[in-house]
A = this chain, B = another copy of it.
Amino acid sequence: MHTEKKLASASLESLYRIFTVPEAPESTLGRIDRNISRNLTAFLQEHIVAVEKDLEEIEEDFSDPHIPERPAFVSSHADFLLEKLVSQSVHTASPSFVGHMTTALPYFMLPLSKIMIALNQNLVKTETSKAFTPLERQVVGMLHQLIYQRDSDFYANWMHDSNHALGALGSGGTIANLTALWAARNNRFPADKGFEGVSREGMYGALHHYGFEGAAILASRRGHYSLGKASDVLGIGRNQLILVDTDDKNRMDPEALRRTCLRLRSRGICILSVVGIAGTTETGSVDPLDELAGLAQEFGSHFHVDAAWGGPTMFSRKYRSLMKGVQQADSVTIDAHKQLYVPLGVGMVLFKDPTMLNSIEHHAQYVIRKGSKDLGSSTLEGSRPGMAMLVYSGLKIIGRQGYELLINRGIELTAAFADMIRERDCFELITEPELNILTYRYVPSVVREALEYGDLESVEALNKGLNRITQYIQKAQRAQGRAFVSRTRLNPEIYNGEDVIVFRVVLANPLTTKEILKDILDEQETIADDVETLEVRNGLTKICETCFVERKSVL
């Protein structure tokens, strides 16, 4: 008993120690810190994307559901993390990791994040964040200015106003889109005679009161899956997310939008929001925002632009015209952990009208009281870290000109990559890049010819085979770990809307070069010769021969 008590008191002392600032740089923690830095530097200097190891095998190291009884040494735990976790993580900053939107970070983010972590400010209220609150409001103001370009008076009036917010920071684009549509919904169904508003009475009461059969959100087929989630969460229903047809460049067709709106209206359905995409996740396409804005206005709908990816194109004087019409949006989503090059997770939604967020305002007795400057009164999330500081640091250190260089380089490198793909006779460019994303697939030249003149049935069979090969190449390349491109499924018009599996490439890492892209294509060509694809390729050749014979007899 006595020993146990001693043990407990000894541990309590060591607990105090772990909560106390280590003073000497030569402390154990100082040594661990340097060891971690060295190891991370080595890891990040590698150009390998990931070491080949099955997830199932990795799971063995992370399978014990029991929280250990006894405390462990920080040093041995750090060693475990470096050996089992860091070595088996994905090198998202590698210049040959071109498959997703998670990309490299400027290295100054590392020392600066230390400020954020160490201070552990909570942005829900000024009492736990103080200067971080005006800083976050400034960041929101800066991005608002980037999009809407209002004058200085506007920002002097609204940026730090305790009863308004020009936008809301959150953990990412999904929360931003959800917040935008939440505000749109609440503004569309406000309090009225005999009705306290959708916020208080819910969707059932709102549709009942306003006499609608439903409420719809309209986006193109290329919209992000967060829009489906938002429709579900908001009680609107995924069926009410109406996917509007796109043109052959994956952009929403305004005429199709108009037809859809008219059809919905005639069925008594409220057109809650039109959502334009500025940089679709799969193809980087930008909807015709100005035309969409006009139609949204015509049908009395909120106009939201999901510019999670493409927003920072506004930094570029050269390419900002691609975003034409964005400033007409009622709300705009921008992700900071994408093309603002800030660590995960931080995104934001901006509102044209400073009163718009009031429709989701909420208060409590102990925080976010009415009239306070607490940011928590207009965010979906509650407690939140001071990520705004890192967004701010990016804006200040890189500057508009720096971001423009990054944006321009990405767009131009992607155009060059499209040329490289076109120059090879075993690849087919599926989507022309508009921003810095493109898709393509593996198509041997013999098949390509047959794809053009084959009958519907043959083309379908060819595409099925090509899908298998492209998927095989993508997985094999990922497993080899030298480079990573992602894959998705599109339904291009030229193939009558058939399922077409494509490689998807996102070029946002400034260290990615043409040489690296060449290597990626070379590796894909090599993989295509694997024995595993042989049978499929033989099958394709046979189909092509038949097509060729048929064609000859026709000619």
Contacts of A119 in B (CB 8 A): 40, 43, 86, 89, 92
Tell me whether B81 and A389 are in contact (CB under 8 A).
yes
Chain B CB within 8 A of A316 CB: no
Contacts of A61 in B (CB 8 A): 131, 134
Chain B CB within 8 A of A510 CB: yes
A65-B144, A68-B399, A131-B88 given as contacts; is B200 within 8 A of A107 (CB)? no
Shortest CB-to-CB span from A400 to chain B, Å, is: 5
Interface 1/0s, chain A 10-44, versus B by CB < 8 A? 01100110111111000001001100110011011
The 4 closest A-B pairs by CB, nearest first: A235-B235, A202-B237, A88-B131, A366-B488
Tell me whether B63 and A138 are in contact (CB under 8 A).
yes
Tell me whether A117 and B122 are in contact (CB under 8 A).
no
Chain B CB within 8 A of A355 CB: no
Tell me whether B488 and A107 are in contact (CB under 8 A).
no
Contacts of A106 in B (CB 8 A): 18-19
Contacts of A112 in B (CB 8 A): 36, 78, 81
Give the residues from 76 to 127 in chain A that come closer than 8 angstroms, CB to CB, to chain B: 77-78, 80-82, 84-86, 88-90, 92-93, 99-102, 104-115, 117-122, 125-127
Interface 1/0s, chain A 393-408, versus B by CB < 8 A? 1011111111001100
Shortest CB-to-CB span from A116 to chain B, Å, is: 8
Tell me whether B397 and A130 are in contact (CB under 8 A).
no
Contacts of A281 in B (CB 8 A): 366
Tell me whether B15 and A405 are in contact (CB under 8 A).
yes
Contacts of A367 in B (CB 8 A): 100, 486
Shortest CB-to-CB span from A355 to chain B, Å, is: 18
- A362 CA / B228 CA spacing, docked (Å): 8
Chain B CB within 8 A of A249 CB: no
- A510 CA / B18 CA spacing, docked (Å): 10
- Between A18, A104, A111, the greatest number of chain B beta carbons within 10 A of the residue's beta carbon is seen for A111
Tell me whether B240 and A121 are in contact (CB under 8 A).
no
Q: Which of B175, B235, B402 contacts A236 (CB 8 A)?
A: B235
Chain B CB within 8 A of A496 CB: no
Tell me whether B65 and A152 are in contact (CB under 8 A).
yes
- A70 CA / B133 CA spacing, docked (Å): 25
Tell me whether B62 and A131 are in contact (CB under 8 A).
yes
Stretch of A153-161, A259-267, A416-424, A529-537 at the chain-chain interface: A153-161
- Between A15, A93, A131, the greatest number of chain B beta carbons within 10 A of the residue's beta carbon is seen for A131
Q: Which of B130, B156, B399 contacts A90 (CB 8 A)?
A: B130
Tell me whether A12 and B115 are in contact (CB under 8 A).
no
Tell me whether A199 and B405 are in contact (CB under 8 A).
no
Tell me whether A127 and B99 are in contact (CB under 8 A).
yes
Contacts of A11 in B (CB 8 A): 401-402, 405
Tell me whether A360 and B232 are in contact (CB under 8 A).
yes
Chain B CB within 8 A of A288 CB: no
Contacts of A198 in B (CB 8 A): 235, 237
A117-B110, A122-B344 given as contacts; is B385 within 8 A of A65 (CB)? no
Specify the chain B residue showing the minimal Cβ separation from A172: B383
Contacts of A84 in B (CB 8 A): 131
Contacts of A99 in B (CB 8 A): 127
Specify the chain B residue showing the minimal Cβ separation from A402: B71
Chain B CB within 8 A of A445 CB: no
Tell me whether A225 and B363 are in contact (CB under 8 A).
yes
Contacts of A86 in B (CB 8 A): 115, 119
Tell me whether B108 and A141 are in contact (CB under 8 A).
no
Q: Which of B77, B199, B200, B381 contacts A174 (CB 8 A)?
A: B381
Tell me whether B399 and A71 are in contact (CB under 8 A).
yes
- A406 CA / B8 CA spacing, docked (Å): 11
Chain B CB within 8 A of A59 CB: yes
Shortest CB-to-CB span from A75 to chain B, Å, is: 10
- Between A22, A159, A225, A406, the greatest number of chain B beta carbons within 10 A of the residue's beta carbon is seen for A225
- A50 CA / B315 CA spacing, docked (Å): 37
Contacts of A380 in B (CB 8 A): 174-175, 178, 229, 233
Contacts of A110 in B (CB 8 A): 29, 33, 114, 117-118
Interface 1/0s, chain A 38-58, versus B by CB < 8 A? 001101110000100001001
Chain B CB within 8 A of A554 CB: no
A-B contact pairs, 23 of them (CB 8 A): A19-B511, A21-B41, A22-B41, A23-B45, A29-B108, A36-B114, A69-B400, A81-B393, A88-B130, A89-B131, A92-B121, A100-B122, A102-B383, A113-B117, A120-B343, A121-B344, A171-B345, A172-B381, A173-B383, A196-B239, A202-B240, A225-B382, A234-B235
Shortest CB-to-CB span from A71 to chain B, Å, is: 4
Tell me whether B155 and A65 are in contact (CB under 8 A).
yes
Contacts of A442 in B (CB 8 A): none
Shortest CB-to-CB span from A318 to chain B, Å, is: 11
Tell me whether B202 and A235 are in contact (CB under 8 A).
yes
Contacts of A92 in B (CB 8 A): 119-122, 128
Sample of 4 more A-B contacts, CB < 8 Å, known A73-B397, A89-B121, A89-B131: A63-B156, A102-B128, A113-B113, A202-B203
Tell me whether B171 and A384 are in contact (CB under 8 A).
yes
Contacts of A360 in B (CB 8 A): 232
